[in-house]
Every structure is written in C-alpha cells, then in structure tokens.
Amino acid sequence: MAVKIKFLGIAQDAGIPQIGCNCKVCSKIYRGERKEEYPVALGIINEKTGKKFMIEATPAFSKQYKKLIDIEKGEKLEGIILTHAHIGHYTGLMMLGREVLNTKRLKVFVSSKMGEFLKNNAPWNQLVKLDNIEIIEFKNRVPFVLDDGIEVTPIEVVHRNEYADTYGFLVKGEEKIFFVPDIDRWNGFEEDLNKLINECKKVIVDATFYTKEEIGKVRGRDLNEIPHPTIEETIKYVEDNKLPSEKIVFTHFNHTNMVLSNEEIRKSVEEKGFAISQEDMEILI
C-alpha cells in the first residue's frame, strides 16, 4: 500500500497570474490562453487508511480542497501541515472557520512559534477558541506519525521569519520525499541537502526564480530583498556535487520564472534530468 503525494498547486504565494501584473505569462492567463496556477500545496493520500492530508493551506485552499477531497464520497480532510507564516502558505486556514467549512478540531501540525502566532493573533485565534482546529506542535528534526504508515520529520530552514520560523518536511511512507518550498539559500544547508537527495525518492525544492536577474527585469525589484536559490544555482550545485538531478523537482514558481515563459529554457532544465512540477503531478512513496 502506497502513499501518494499530489501537487495541488505549483506557484509562489501570489499564484499566477500575479494580481495587477501584465507580464507575458499573466496576460496569457487573462486571455484564457493558459491556465491559472495555484500557490504550491501538496496532498498526501494514504492508500492504506484512505485518509488525506495537506501540506500548506494556501489562498486557493477552497479549490485545492476540492481537488484532493471527494466530497460526494463523504471524504474529509484529516489534517494540515504548515511550513511557515507567509501568506501563500497558511492563510487558507480562514476557510476552516464557522463562516465556511466549520471544521471540528481539524489537526494542524505546526512549530511552536507558528502555534503561538496562530493562538495569539486574530483571526486565527478564533479557530483555536471555537475548536475548529487543534494545534499539534512538532519539534525540529523530531519525526511524528501523521497516520498509519506515514511519518513526517520537520527540518528547520533559513527564511525571512517575520512571524514564525520555517520548515521543510521529510515525508516517509515506504520511500521518502523532502519538500522545501521556501528557503533563502542552500549555503549552510548543503550537508542536509546532500543527505536528503541521497535518501529520498524526490526532493521538491524552492524554484521561485530561474535567474537572479529576472525579477529586476520584469518587476523592477531587487532579488537581495527576496532571497531564494535560483534554478540556475540549484542546477549548478547539483552538477558540481555530482548529485542525481532526476531526484530534483522544482516548484513555488514566481510568475516571472523563465521556465514558465521560455520553452528553450524549460527544455534545457528537463534535458538535464530535473523535473518542473505541474498541478496534479503525483509521486508514490
């Protein structure tokens, strides 16, 4: 019996189109020539117990819930695991409140800092007060059982932590995947990354930008304000260290990411063995 990991979205926090943007990619979506992309979230489907979980609760939570959960069959979501307190990763929790799903003690797995943030700030504290959610705190590098046959190990990573801290998740069924949608840089994480690439079937990584230059070109912003390892840097790192590129899956794409707009670049990434995540892509572990 396997565990299925399913992509429910592949974009950076804003989703694509990015609100207010008329770049090539966003415009195509407005014109109906390309599909919208939701912020990245993963479904975890335990084929042994039939239970379903989500990593991240994005602003597109309602749509992603519908993609994962067969409502007509009476299925429900059993729990949510959150990486960090940036808007694309947790604000979908608002849909659990009494105005919408009105869940009963839905398990939300978070770090203690994230737990404090949710318990002490409106509107999230209402979910706790009204028992819509039950906060279950995990600890850095301490595995916890998500469900029969699924273990999750949170691994803390460096990222802009205005409200709480940030984690990647090692999810273990019969095999393992690692998911890290946001990290500032690989520098300082190399030892972990090498080990994770070795032990996992797939490692799903932050690929917000293709190059350091693109955000300046398209949006006039400085990448130093928004650090992420670029796809170019990750490819170089994997190749320099002779790591297996076929284990790397890129995700969390900004609308400016050139793998979305430049067919040649996309092909060159794939020809090197790397995967570019797509909605509904599945990995069995």
Q: State the residues that interact with Zn ion by CB under 5 A.
A: 13, 18, 21, 23, 26, 86, 88, 182, 255
Closest C-alpha among 260, 228, 278 to residue 29:
260
Q: Give the nearer residue to Zn ion in terms of CB position, either 157 or 197.
A: 157
Q: Which is nearer to Zn ion, 51 or 86 (CB)?
A: 86
Long-range contacts of 19-25 (CB under 8 A, 24+ apart): 21/219, 21/255, 23/218, 23/255, 23/256, 23/261, 24/261, 25/255, 25/256, 25/260, 25/261
Closest approach, Cβ 107 to Zn ion, in A, equals 22
CB nearer to Zn ion: give 85 or 197.
85
Q: How far is the CB of 85 from Zn ion (least distance, A)?
A: 8
User: In the complex, what is the shortest distance from the CB of residue 7 to Zn ion, in angstroms, rounded to a whole number?
Assistant: 15
Nearer to Zn ion, 21 or 205 (CB): 21
Residue 126 amino acid letter: Q
CA 102 to chain centre: 24
Shortest Cβ 208–Zn ion spacing (Å): 7
Nearer to Zn ion, 75 or 222 (CB): 222
Minimum distance between the CB of residue 271 and Zn ion, rounded to whole angstroms?
26
Q: In the sheet that 77-81 helps form, which strands lie side by side, from edge to edge?
A: 133-137, 106-110, 77-81, 52-55, 41-46, 3-9, 282-284
Separation between Cα atoms, residue 81 and residue 51, nearest integer Å: 14
